[in-house]
Amino acid sequence: MILKELLHELRGTEPLKSEDETINITHLEMDSRLVEQGTLFFCINGYTVDGHDFAQQAIDKGAVAIVAERPLSVSVPVILVSDTKRVMARLASRFYGEPTKQVNLIGVTGTNGKTSVTHILDQLFRDAEQTTGLIGTMYTKIADEMIETRNTTPESLVLQQRFRAMVDKKVDTALMEVSSHALHLGRVRGCDFNIAVFTNLTPDHIDYHETMDNYLYAKSLLFSQLGNTYEGKVAVINSDDPASDRLIQMTTADVVTYGIKKAADFKATNVKVTAAGTAFTLDAFGESIQIELKLIGLFNVYNALAAVTAGYMSGLTLSQMKQSLEKVKGVAGRFEAVDVGQDFTVIVDYATRLIALKMFFKQCKTLLRTKFMSLLVVVVTVIQQNDR
C-alpha cells in the first residue's frame, strides 16, 4: 500500500514531502527484530524498552518509514503522532483491509468465564456449519489452524494480522476474549465488534487497575465503542451482576440481558446441579426449552446463557443451540470433571488468584450437598498468569 494512501484519514500530522508520498509499504511492524524490506515501523514506548531506541536498527533491516512520538534523526520519513499505539491500531486495520468488518466479531469480557463462553460459542457456530476463529487465553484458532498465544488479547497489530488471516480462510464468526488490560492499553482499537458480552466483575485484577471503579471503567470501554449510531450492534449483559447498570449506561447499542435471579431477556429457571451435570429451563422471547448440560455448576449456567444470547443475536435458533449445548464437554481445566470409571468424582480447575480458589471451593461445597456424590477429590492448578 502506498504510504500516502495508508495515512489518508490520519489527522493531526504534518503533510508528507512529495517524494515520500509514493513510498510502498509492504509490512507493518513494532518489533525491530521482525522488520523486513518495505516495513512501516511503529516506535512503541513499552514497560521495559522504548521502540524509539530501535528505530535505526529497524531502518538497517529495511524499514522505509517510521511512526514515532518524538523527532528522530534518521534517513527515512518520520510520521510524528501523539500516541503511536492508537495510530498503530488504526493503520493496521486499514492496511489489512478492515478485516473485522468482514466477519461476525463477538468480544467477551469479564473477570471469569471468558474462555468458557468463547469455547461454547465456537461449538454453537461450528455445529451451525460456520467456519470460526477464536482468540483467547489458551490459543488462537483460525479455521482449523491452531497458533500459540502469549496474551489473552494480543497487541492491535497482531490482532489485525490474525483477523486478516481469518478473512482469507473464509471465517464467518470470530470469537475473542477481551481482557481489561487489553481494553485499558488500547489493543482492540480498530476492531469492529458486532456483539460485546459481559460475564461478571469480581476484584481479580486490582493489582493492575488499583480500584474497582478503574477496573469497571476498563471493561466498559468494550461497550462504549460499539458505536453511537444504530448499526445492529448488541451488548449482551449479565443482569444479575451489580456492574450491569453501569455498562448499560455506557453503550448506545441494543442491550439484551441474561440471568437467573433478576428479570432478563434470556432467563434460566428450575436450575438443578448434580455431579453428572446441570439442568435448567431456558425462557427467552416467549420460547421455553429444557437444557441438560454435561457441565457442572451454577456458573456454567451463566456461561451457557451468555453464549446462547450471543448466538441468538447472531441468528442461531434456540432449538439448534440446545442440541449443541448438550454436547459441550467444557474447557480443559475449567471445573472439568474427569471420569475414568472411578466410583468418586474428580474435578480439575484452573485458578490464577485467591478469589478464584474461593469460588472453586464454593462450587465444590454445593456439589457435596448432592446425594450423587460419595466423595469429591479436588485437583487445583494454581498459576500466576498475566491476563493481558
Residue 40's pLDDT is 98
Residue 381's pLDDT is 52
Picking from 18-22, 66-70, 326-330, which range would have the lowest pLDDT averaged per residue?
326-330
**Does the structure show a pLDDT above 90 at 281?**
yes
Q: Using one digit for the tens of pLDDT, what is the confidence trace for 99-134? A: 999 999 999 999 889 999 999 999 999 999 999 999
Mean model confidence pLDDT for the chain: 87
Confidence of residue 148 (pLDDT cuts 50, 70, 90): confident
Q: Is 230 exposed, middle or buried (0-12, 13-18, 19+ CB in 10 A)?
A: exposed
Residue 373's pLDDT is 46
With a CB cutoff of 8 Å and minimum separation 6, the contacts of 205 are 111, 180, 181, 215, 387
Give me the count of residues in the chain: 388
Residue 386's pLDDT is 44
Mean pLDDT of 79-108: 96
Query: What CA–CA distance (Å, rounded) separates 256 from 241?
Result: 14
Nearest to 324 by CA among 349, 289, 298, 348: 289
The dihedrals phi and psi of 251, each to the nearest 5 degrees, come to -120, 150
Mean pLDDT of 312-323: 96
**Does the structure show a pLDDT above 90 at 301?**
yes
User: What 3-state class would DSSP assign to 62?
Assistant: coil
**CATH class given for the domain over 3-95:** alpha beta
**Does the structure show a pLDDT above 70 at 289?**
yes
Confidence of residue 11 (pLDDT cuts 50, 70, 90): confident
Confidence of residue 92 (pLDDT cuts 50, 70, 90): very high
Residue 351's pLDDT is 54
Percentage of the chain modeled with pLDDT above 90: 66
Percentage of the chain modeled with pLDDT above 70: 82
Mean pLDDT of 15-43: 95
Question: Do 335 and 297 meet the contact criterion of CB atoms below 8 Å apart?
Answer: yes
Confidence of residue 210 (pLDDT cuts 50, 70, 90): low
Q: Which CATH superfamily is domain 99-325 in?
A: Mur-like, catalytic domain (3.40.1190.10)
Residue 372's pLDDT is 45
Residue 383's pLDDT is 46
**Does the structure show a pLDDT above 60 at 79?**
yes
Residue 57's pLDDT is 97
- Domain range annotation of the chain: 3-95, 99-325, 336-382
Residue 385's pLDDT is 45
Residue 15's pLDDT is 87
pTM for this predicted structure: 0.85
The dihedrals phi and psi of 189, each to the nearest 5 degrees, come to -60, 140
Mean pLDDT of 158-186: 94
The answer to whether the 3-95 and 99-325 domains have the same CATH topology is no
Pick the residue with more confidence: 341 or 378? Answer: 341
Mean pLDDT of 332-350: 59
Mean pLDDT of 30-38: 96
Confidence of residue 58 (pLDDT cuts 50, 70, 90): very high
